[in-house]
Structure 1
Amino acid sequence: MWALRRASTPLRNQGYRVRTSYVFGKLEVPYLLQKNVAGFGTIATLSDRFISFERNNLATWPFSEICISCHGLSTQAGAENSGEEDNVEDSFSELDETLPITRSEIAGDDDNVVDDGTQNELDLLEGETELAEKKSSKWRPSELFNAIWKASVLSVPSALDKWVSEGKDLSRAEISLAMLHLRKRRMFGKALQFSEWLEANGQLEFNQRDYASRLDLIAKVQGLPKAESYIAKIPQSFQGEVIHRTLLANYVAANNVKKAEEVFNKMKDLEFPMTPFAHDQMLILYKRIDKRKLADILSLMEKENVKPSPFTYKILIDAKGLCNDISGMEQVVDSMKAEGIKPDVSTLSLLAKHYVSNGLKDKAKVILKDMEENNSKGSRLPCRILLPLYGALQMEDEVRRLWKICEANPHMEESMAAIVAWGKMKNVQEAEKIFDRFVKTWKKPSTRHYNTMMNVYGGSKMLTKGKELVNQMAESGCRMDELTWDAVVKLYVEAGEVEKADSFLVKAVQKYGMKPLFTSYKTLMDHYARRGDVHNAEKIFDKMIQSGFVPRLGQFGTLLQAYVNSKTPAYGMKDRMMAYNIYPNKALAGQLAQVNAFRKTAVSDLLD
C-alpha cells in the first residue's frame, strides 16, 4: 500500500500478533521496524476506537525469549525534549522572570534528535504562519513584538494599551506576526499575556486556532492541569480537532503516556479527521518510551488510510538511527524517496548525525557535500546545520571555510553553531573569539547563548573558565534557568568534581524552586554508576522520580550498572521494574542475572 510496506513480513512469523475487532486480512508490520518488535511475545490490540497493549508470558520473565534489536542505544536527551545540543536550536530562552515557566524536559533513553518541539509549534500555528508570511514575505521585524519585548513582564498590558491609543496597526496579520516572534523566542509568558489582553479588550474575535494557541501557552507557562481546566471555558463549537491535537502535543512533550493515549483515543471516539499530526505525535512518544509500539501506530495509519507525512519518515529515520540500525534507517529513506518525498536539509542533517555517531564518517561526509551542492539558492541556512557536523567530524578546514562565509555579518544561530563546532574540536580559543564578538554585537546575550559557551568549557574540562562565565552571566542580569544548571552540572562532572555538581543542583533547586532537566540527573547518575556508588545512584534515582520523571529501561539499566560495578546484589529490583510496567530487554536481563543474590554458579551445588 505504502512504500513502507513493500518489504514486510507477517507479524505471526515474528512472534508478534495483532488482534483487532474487525477482520481485515493479515496485518503486516513494515520491514523497517520488524527488528524492533521481534521476539517480544506481545499482543497489540488495535481497533477503530482505541489502542491498548497486552503482554503475555511476561509475568515469569522468560529472559531467553526477550530480545531487542536496538543495541548500543544513545542517551536520549529529550522530551521530554531532544538532544542536549538540539534543545537550544532556534530558541532564544527569553523567559519571563516572574511567571512560572514549564519547559519540555529532557528524558528517556535516547537522543531526541528530531526537533519535536519545533514541529509541534509549526503545525499548531500554521494559521499564524500563513498570515505572517502574507504580512511580510521578507520576515521583517515586528514593531508590535518589539513593544511587547521591551516591556517588563508586569507592564505588557500597559504597553499594549499605549499601542492602541496611538492608533497603530492591530490587524490579525500584525497580531500573528508578533505572536510568532514571541513563540520563536520562547517568550511564552508574554505571549500568554498578549493573548489574554486581546480577548479581554475585544481586540480579536477568537477562532479555534486562537483558542488552541491560548491552550498551548497555558500548558507551557502554567502547566497541563491548568490547560485541562481551560478547555471547559472554550465554547463547545470551537472544541474541535485542533484543540485536542494541541493538548495531545503537550502531553507528548511531557511524556505522559496515559494522558496522551486518552486524548488520542478520544479524538477517534469523536470521529475527528485523523491527520498525520496526531499519529506523528504518538510515534514521537513511543520513539522515546517504547519503540515496540511504533509498528502499532504505523499499522493503524495504514488501516485508516492516513498517509505518512515527511515528518513521519523523519521520526522513523531517527528511531532507526538511535537503535544503530543504519541499514534500517537507509531503508526508511528509500521508502521516503519511493513516495516522491525528497529529503530536506533537516532530514539530511539527521542522517549525517547518525552516521557520525555510528562512526561512518565517509557516509556522513557524502551527505554533507550533497547538502551544500543542493543548496541551489545559495542560502546560508545550511551553514548553521553543517558547522556542528563538520566539527564532530574534526574537519577544521571545512569549519573555517563555512565560518568565513558568515563571518562578515553572522546571524545569531550561525555564531552559536560555530561555537559548538569549535567546542567539538576542543579549540576553545576560536570559540571564545566568536563568543566575545557575539557579546559585543548583540549586547544582551540570552541564557541559551551563555549555556552554549558553558558546554564548550565543560567539554574541555575548564572549570575555572566556566565559573567565570557564570559570574559574567549573573552580572549581565541574565537569568539562570534549568539549562544553565545542566551546563554547570556537566562542567563540574567533566572536571571530576561529581559531589560538587550534586551539591550545586540541590542548592539551585532549593533557591529557585524549579525542576531540573532530566539530563542533569542522568549525568550524575551515570558517573555514580560507573564508580559503583550504589548509595548515591539510588539517591539520584529517587530524586528523578520525586521530580516527576517516570523511570524507563535506560534509568534502570544505569541503576543496575551501579550494583554490577560495586559487586552488590540488588534485592527486589525485578519487582521495582514491574511496578513501572517495565520489562527487560536482553542487556537488562543480563544485568539482572549478575546482581541476582540467589543465582547459582558452577560450584553452588557443591557448596550447598
Structure 2
Amino acid sequence: MAMAAAVARRSRRLLRLLSSRPNPKPASLSSCSSPSPSFDTPATAGEREGDPLSWRLLRLRSPGAAAAAIDGWAQERGRVSRPDLQRAVSQLRRARRYGHALEILSWMESRKELKLLPLDHAARLDLIAKVHGTSQAEEYYNKLNSASREAASFPLLHCYVADRNVQKAESFMASLQSIGLPVDPHSFNEMMKLYVATCEYEKVFSVIDLMKRNNIPRNALSYNLWMNACSVSDVSSVQSVFKEMVNDVTIEVGWSTYCTLANIFKKHELNSKALACLRTAETKLSTTQRLGYSFVMTCYAALGDSDGVMRLWEASKCVPGRIPAANYMTAILCLIKVGDFDRAEWIFGSWEAECRRHDVRVSNVLLGAYVRNGWIEKAEKLHLHMLEKGARPNYKTWEILMEGFVQSRQMDKAVNAMKKALSLMKSCHWRPPLKLVEAIAAFFEEQGNTDDASRYIKLLQKFNLTSLPLYKSVLRAYIKADTVVPTNISEMIARDDIVMDEEMDHLIIRASKIDIRGDV
C-alpha cells in the first residue's frame, strides 16, 4: 500500500508537469468543434501584485530575454528564490511560452545554489521536446542521473506518444520495466492513447490485460480509452466495460466518461442515447470550476442541439469568476456549427460588453464563419468594428479576409491583406495557404496584368514564398498580354532554386519570342 501511494503521488506530480487536466478529456467527435484553445491571457491586477516576477516574464516577447530579466530581478531584489522561478516556469508553460520557460530552467542550472531537482529535470525535458524536438529530449534524458531519469521517464514517453512512434514507445516502456522503474496507470494510459491514435485497438486490450495481471489500478481515463477501443466493433462491449467501471469502487464516474459514451453512441447513430448521456454529464459538472462545460457543449453541437449548447453556456456563467475569452470562443464556435448565428452573435456581444480589451482571436471565429458563408460585407464590417475598438489583427485575421476577398474577386483587397499578413511573419511561423497565394497570381494571369503580376512575385520572393506554379502564372500573364518579358526573370527563377518542368520550358520558349525589355 505504501508503495502504491508513493507511485500515485509521483504520478500526480508528473501529470502536473505536463499540465494535464484533473478530469480526463473525452475522445472528440470527428464532427465536433475543437476544444477550447489556450490563451496567453494577461495577468490580473491581483496576480501582478502577488507574483511580480512571473508578471515581468510573461510580458517578454523576444527570444533569449528571460535570463536577462531574471538577472535584473536578482540585482534589484538581492536574490531570486527557487519557488519564484518554478512558479514562473509553470505560468509560462500554461501560456505556451515554452522557449522562455526553458530559458529559466537553463538559467537555474547555471547557478550552483539553484541545482535542478528531479522534477525540474522532468519539466526541462518536456520543454526541450516542445522547443527543439524529441531527439534532443532523448539526448538530455540519457545524460541524467537515475533519480532524475525516473522523474523524466513519463515526459519522454509522452513525446513518443505525441510523435505516434509506436516502436520507440514500446521499446521505452519495456526498458522501464526491465530496470525496475515504477510503471503506473498513467504510463499505460499513454500507451493506450497511442494505440487508439494509430488504430491498433487489439493492443489496447492487451494493455488492459497486462494491467489486470499486474494489479495496476485503472483510472477513469483507462476505462474511457478501453471503451473507445471497443466501440470500433460494437456497442455491447462498450456497455460491458462501462458496467465494470461503475462496479469499480476506486472510480468516480465523471462527466468525461459520459461524454465518451455520448461520442460512441453518436458514432453508432444512437443519438437519443447520446443525448441522455450528455444530460447525465451535465449533472457531474463542478459548480466551482469551468472545466468540462466546454467539452459537453461541443458534444451537444456535434448532435446539432442548439438548446443544449445554450443551456451549458448559461450554466457555465453561474461558476464564480470571470469567464475566459476561450470559453466565449467555444460557445460561439458551437452555435456556428449548428447554424445558430443569432445566438452566436448574441454571445459575441456579451463578450464585447465584458471584455477588457478586444482580442481578435474571439472575433476571428465569427469572421471566419461569415467568410465561409460568403458574407464578405458582413465580415468587413466586423473587421472595421474591431479596428475601431483598438483590436490588433493577427495573421489569421488577414488570412480569413484574404480568403473572402479572393472568393469575391476583390483582388486589390486580397493583395493588401496578403501584405499585412506578410508583415507579421517576422514574429510568427505562419505562411499563407498555397491556394490563396496561387489564386491571386491566377487572377493577374487571367487579366493579363503584367505590372501587378511582377510586383506580386517580387513581394513573395522577399519571404521565400515563390514556386514553380507562381512563375508559370507570371509568364502566362506576359504571354497573354503579348508584353515584353523582364530580362532578369531567369535570374529570379535560378535564385529561388525553382526546379523546371516540361511545361515551364515551353512557356519560356513562347515568352522568348516576345521582345526582351528591362528588369522587373
TM-score, normalising length: structure 2: 0.61
Aligned residues: 383
Residue matched to 2:462: none
Instruction: Classify 1:142/1:478 alpha carbon distance in 2 versus 1 (closer, same or farther; 3 Å).
Output: farther
Instruction: Classify 1:142/1:437 alpha carbon distance in 2 versus 1 (closer, same or farther; 3 Å).
Output: farther
Counterpart-to-counterpart distance in 1, 2:110 and 2:161? 30
Instruction: Classify 1:478/1:282 alpha carbon distance in 2 versus 1 (closer, same or farther; 3 Å).
Output: farther
Instruction: Classify 1:380/1:306 alpha carbon distance in 2 versus 1 (closer, same or farther; 3 Å).
Output: closer
1:89 is aligned with what amino acid? S
Q: Is the 8 A contact 2:35 2:298 kept in 1?
A: no
Counterpart-to-counterpart distance in 1, 2:236 and 2:405? 38
The answer to whether 1:427 aligns with 2:340 is yes
Instruction: Classify 1:184/1:246 alpha carbon distance in 2 versus 1 (closer, same or farther; 3 Å).
Output: same
Counterpart-to-counterpart distance in 1, 2:116 and 2:165? 29
Deviation at 1:265, TM superposition (A): 1.9
**Correspondence for 1:227 among 128, 137, 148:** 137
| SS of structure 1 residue aligned to 2:244 | helix
Counterpart-to-counterpart distance in 1, 2:113 and 2:50? 22
The answer to whether 1:272 aligns with 2:181 is yes
The answer to whether 1:443 aligns with 2:357 is yes
The answer to whether 1:253 aligns with 2:166 is no
The answer to whether 1:217 aligns with 2:164 is no
2:332 is aligned with what amino acid? I
2:131 is aligned with what amino acid? V
Residue matched to 2:331: 418
Counterpart-to-counterpart distance in 1, 2:234 and 2:403? 29
Instruction: Classify 1:309/1:373 alpha carbon distance in 2 versus 1 (closer, same or farther; 3 Å).
Output: closer
1:426 is aligned with what amino acid? G
**Correspondence for 1:348 among 236, 241, 258:** 258
Once the two structures are superposed, residues 454-496 of structure 1 have per-residue CA deviations (whole angstroms, 9 ceiling, x without a partner) of 6645775657767888999999556548x998x999999999x
Residue matched to 2:507: none
1:241 is aligned with what amino acid? E
Instruction: Classify 1:488/1:183 alpha carbon distance in 2 versus 1 (closer, same or farther; 3 Å).
Output: farther
Q: Which entry has the higher C-alpha Rg, 1 or 2?
A: 2
Residue matched to 1:240: 149
Counterpart-to-counterpart distance in 1, 2:99 and 2:384? 26
Counterpart-to-counterpart distance in 1, 2:360 and 2:40? 7
| SS of structure 2 residue aligned to 1:240 | helix
Counterpart-to-counterpart distance in 2, 1:267 and 1:92? 35
The answer to whether 1:284 aligns with 2:193 is yes
Deviation at 1:169, TM superposition (A): 8.7
Q: Is the 8 A contact 2:360 2:392 kept in 1?
A: no
Instruction: Classify 1:337/1:203 alpha carbon distance in 2 versus 1 (closer, same or farther; 3 Å).
Output: farther
Residue matched to 2:12: none
| SS of structure 2 residue aligned to 1:307 | coil
Deviation at 1:380, TM superposition (A): 4.8
Deviation at 1:419, TM superposition (A): 0.8
Q: Is the 8 A contact 2:60 2:66 kept in 1?
A: yes
Q: Is the 8 A contact 1:415 1:435 kept in 2?
A: yes
1:160 is aligned with what amino acid? I
Instruction: Classify 1:211/1:471 alpha carbon distance in 2 versus 1 (closer, same or farther; 3 Å).
Output: farther
Deviation at 1:189, TM superposition (A): 1.8
The answer to whether 1:92 aligns with 2:39 is yes
Counterpart-to-counterpart distance in 2, 1:492 and 1:225? 42
The answer to whether 1:164 aligns with 2:111 is no
Give 5+ residue unaligned stretches, structure 1. Answer: 1-77, 95-135, 522-608
Once the two structures are superposed, residues 344-373 of structure 1 have per-residue CA deviations (whole angstroms, 9 ceiling, x without a partner) of 122222222333344323222322322333
Residue matched to 2:87: 177
Instruction: Classify 1:403/1:307 alpha carbon distance in 2 versus 1 (closer, same or farther; 3 Å).
Output: closer
Q: Which has the higher contact order (CA 8 A, sep 6+)?
A: 1
Residue matched to 1:205: 115
Residue matched to 1:115: none
Instruction: Classify 1:328/1:431 alpha carbon distance in 2 versus 1 (closer, same or farther; 3 Å).
Output: same
Instruction: Classify 1:202/1:358 alpha carbon distance in 2 versus 1 (closer, same or farther; 3 Å).
Output: farther
Which one is further off, 359-368 or 467-476? 467-476
Q: Is the 8 A contact 2:125 2:155 kept in 1?
A: yes
Q: Is the 8 A contact 2:271 2:303 kept in 1?
A: yes
The answer to whether 1:360 aligns with 2:270 is yes
Once the two structures are superposed, residues 40-70 of structure 1 have per-residue CA deviations (whole angstroms, 9 ceiling, x without a partner) of xxxxxxxxxxxxxxxxxxxxxxxxxxxxxxx
Counterpart-to-counterpart distance in 2, 1:225 and 1:470? 43
Once the two structures are superposed, residues 490-541 of structure 1 have per-residue CA deviations (whole angstroms, 9 ceiling, x without a partner) of 999999xxxx9xxx9xx99xx899699xxx99xxxxxxxxxxxxxxxxxxxx
Q: Is the 8 A contact 1:93 1:446 kept in 2?
A: no
Residue matched to 2:56: 147
| SS of structure 2 residue aligned to 1:264 | helix
Counterpart-to-counterpart distance in 1, 2:180 and 2:360? 44
Instruction: Classify 1:262/1:399 alpha carbon distance in 2 versus 1 (closer, same or farther; 3 Å).
Output: closer
**Correspondence for 1:339 among 243, 248, 253:** 248
Deviation at 1:382, TM superposition (A): 4.5
Counterpart-to-counterpart distance in 1, 2:403 and 2:203? 33
Deviation at 1:250, TM superposition (A): 0.6
The Cα RMSD (Å) is: 4.5
Once the two structures are superposed, residues 94-120 of structure 1 have per-residue CA deviations (whole angstroms, 9 ceiling, x without a partner) of 8xxxxxxxxxxxxxxxxxxxxxxxxxx
Residue matched to 1:311: 221
2:110 is aligned with what amino acid? A
TM-score, normalising length: structure 1: 0.53
Counterpart-to-counterpart distance in 1, 2:113 and 2:340? 52
Residue matched to 1:295: 205
Deviation at 1:150, TM superposition (A): 0.8
Q: Is the 8 A contact 2:33 2:337 kept in 1?
A: no
Instruction: Classify 1:302/1:258 alpha carbon distance in 2 versus 1 (closer, same or farther; 3 Å).
Output: same
Deviation at 1:217, TM superposition (A): 0.4
Residue matched to 1:4: none
Once the two structures are superposed, residues 244-292 of structure 1 have per-residue CA deviations (whole angstroms, 9 ceiling, x without a partner) of 2211111110111222222122212222122112211111111111222
Q: Is the 8 A contact 1:276 1:307 kept in 2?
A: yes
**Correspondence for 2:299 among 372, 386, 389:** 389
| SS of structure 1 residue aligned to 2:183 | coil
Counterpart-to-counterpart distance in 2, 1:469 and 1:318? 41
